[in-house]
Chains A and B, each alone.
Chain A
Amino acid sequence: MGAKYVLQASQFQFLFDALTARGYQVIGPKLQDGAIVYDALSSVQDLPAGWTDQQEAGTYRLENRSDSAFFGYTVGPYSWKKFLHLPARKLKRGKSAEGEFHFVSENEEIPKLAFVGVRACELHAMTIQDKIFMGGIYRDSSYAERRENIFVIAVNCGKAGGTCFCVSMKTGPKASGGYDWVLTEVIEKDRHYFVVESGTGAGKEILAGEEILKELDCPLAAEAEIALSERIVEETACQMGRRLKTEGIKDLLYKNLEHPHWDEVANRCLTCGNCTMVCPTCFCASIAEITDLTGEKVERVQKWDSCFTEDFSYIHGGSIRKTAKSRYRQWMTHKLAYWIDQFGTSGCVGCGRCITWCPAGIDITEEAKGFYGDS
């Protein structure tokens, strides 16, 4: 554990300036079309200070807070995934010559991004995606390069949302690693400050983090300030809107692949794919090669895809997951069961996005209960 410092809320802009001076583009939460999404921020003014969100299955509402907290809400529809594993990108370009296509890789510009306001569950999701894209022999170089060029400023949650269940998944609400800095926002009667701790993140960025702290001339946090900041996070842990029993869940699902509860979910599931798109760990994409009218040029493009589409399981002769039942079962058993066999952890970090942003309000924690009882 690094030393803890105090950064006054009024100094917050200096942090943005220090990041910008080091060539980072600051990305963070911002109001957009009735939700809080991650986007480029030009100053602290862009942060949704004084706003909070109410989340339930299939609903999301913004509300005013009684204070001016910068981070007084939980996660919005889009995770940081969209900056690392891009929703759509060109992989290669080809030209035909003598009846063959010759491909060259697209040159990608890799931006230097500073993520401000990454939550504990999201840090875990990033670690999970790191394993997928960089952990094995098949390395996704675009993801890897993007990942190496981000500066992560995490925020310990001061409030849990109605669909949060990080405590069940042991991923939050306190950031446990994978950041360059972590902030806890503290609002007292007449004080507004952050308790800042630098770096358990990887590599050279820790140094930059310490350098910035020196520049800002932040004092070491007093014991009382540290205690208060810790209490805030402990209280958040008691506010979880949802709970998921994870004990033995893998075997439970494996044993119940033909349980009637799948039909019950299928009745409600729209196979719209929203849950997979918003999930910070879902990583599926499909690749297509598209020729132009002349047939001389071709582009190879990659796009987010989902196990909820019929095309996604198309193999020779047809789709193997034609029904909502088979698609929902695929998704849920992957998240909660065979992800564990595949990658060594659960595929769910308990962020609650799939619950909030499902138009039918299907709730993974409720569905899991459908299998306990008569296993």
Chain B
Amino acid sequence: MRKNKKPKLAVWKFTSCDGCQLSLLDCEDELLALSDKVEIANFLEASRAVLKGPYDLSLVEGSITTPQDAERIHQVRRVSKLLITIGACAASGGIQALRNFKEVKQFISIVYAKPEYIETLNKSTPISDHVPVDFELRGCPVNKYQLLEIIAAFLNRRKPVISARSVCMDCKLKGTVCVMVADRIPCLGPVTHAGCCALCPSIHRGCYGCFGPKETPNTASLSRTWEKLGADQDDLVRVFRSFNSGAEPFRRESEIHEIKKD
């Protein structure tokens, strides 16, 4: 790290609910240590003060859904040495990517009294569709310890200790009894990226896939397991279409079941 000069951190928001930024604010105890090590140069959720770029580390929340977003993300990339996206919106388009499966104009005319004032893109897309991304932190929302871990890794110039393995592995590390095998509760854990510490199975629910697809997700095989547990094609379309419907493996699987349904 450069002597005497703290690296500048910026946080940017695109189309999102702000939940991931809140995870950063939620790091109360660690924020002091953080502000000791980095200059928080742009984080509107925490402070109105904005310092000029370039920035050493940019955290980007949200997906690209408007023509303005699509412009602005290039500016952000230009002023950022390292760009890390945070959350499902930024990594896969978020819940708003559900529009990708329909004609967006129809939604607008239903939702808004004056649709002519709304300017929006047809699709909600991840940041990596627009600019090169250095690391994608997953989750809806992100896990605050993983958020601190990427920042600590960046500050210490090391690889973040964050694994793309399944949620199942965390279930087993924790000693949770598998809800799918023991209770026939359908669970997305075997195809979902770990990061939440296997929260839902530990309170007796199936995984909803908040962290999106794991590495090498075999969604077709998991769908067969779900079918054995009684899920129909509609269920399968829906389950792969939530916070990460824009992630390629989940999108493809949901479309397969949409075709089968008809």
Which residues on A are within 8 Å of B, measured CB to CB?
32-35, 37, 58-61, 77-78, 82, 87-88, 267-274, 277-278, 288, 290-295, 303-304, 306, 308-311, 322-324, 356-357, 359-361
User: Which residues, 74 to 117 on B, are CB-close (under 8 Å) to A?
Assistant: none
| Residues 157-213 of B contacting A (Cβ, < 8 Å) | 158, 161, 163-166, 168-169, 172-184, 187, 189-191, 204
Which 9 pairs across A and B sit closest by C-beta, in order of nearness? A277-B172, A272-B190, A270-B190, A33-B177, A272-B168, A34-B182, A309-B165, A35-B177, A272-B166
**With A272-B189, A277-B169 as contacts: A295 and B155 at CB distance below 8 Å:** yes
Q: Which of A33, A59, A60, A304 contacts B204 (CB 8 A)?
A: A33
Interface of A, helix, strand, loop or mixed by DSSP: loop
* B183 A37 Cβ-Cβ under 8 A: no
Contact B164–A274 (Cβ < 8 Å): no
Cα–Cα distance between A61 and B169 once the two chains are bound (Å) = 22
Residues of chain A contacted by B221 (CB below 8 angstroms): 267-270, 360
Q: Is the CB of B216 within 8 A of A37?
A: no
Partner of A273, one of B166, B178, B191: B166
Q: How far is the CA of A272 from the CA of B216 in the complex (A)?
A: 9
B34 CB–A CB distance under 8 Å: yes
The reply to whether B225 and A273 form a contact with Cβ atoms under 8 Å apart is no
Interface: B68 (CB within 8 A): no
B111: shortest Cβ distance to chain A, in Å?
38
Complex CA–CA separation, A33 to B198 (angstroms): 15
Complex contacts, A77 vs chain B, CB 8 Å:
172, 177-178, 181-182
Asked whether A359 and B181 contact (CB < 8 A) given A290-B161, A293-B155, A309-B163, the answer is yes
- Chain B positions within 8 Å of A277 at CB level: 168-169, 172-173
Of the A-B pairs whose beta carbons lie under 8 Å apart in the complex, a sample of 29, sorted by A's number, is A33-B204, A34-B177, A34-B182, A34-B183, A58-B181, A59-B181, A60-B178, A77-B177, A77-B182, A82-B175, A87-B173, A267-B221, A270-B221, A272-B190, A273-B168, A274-B190, A277-B173, A291-B152, A293-B152, A293-B155, A295-B37, A295-B155, A304-B173, A308-B165, A311-B163, A311-B165, A359-B178, A359-B181, A359-B225
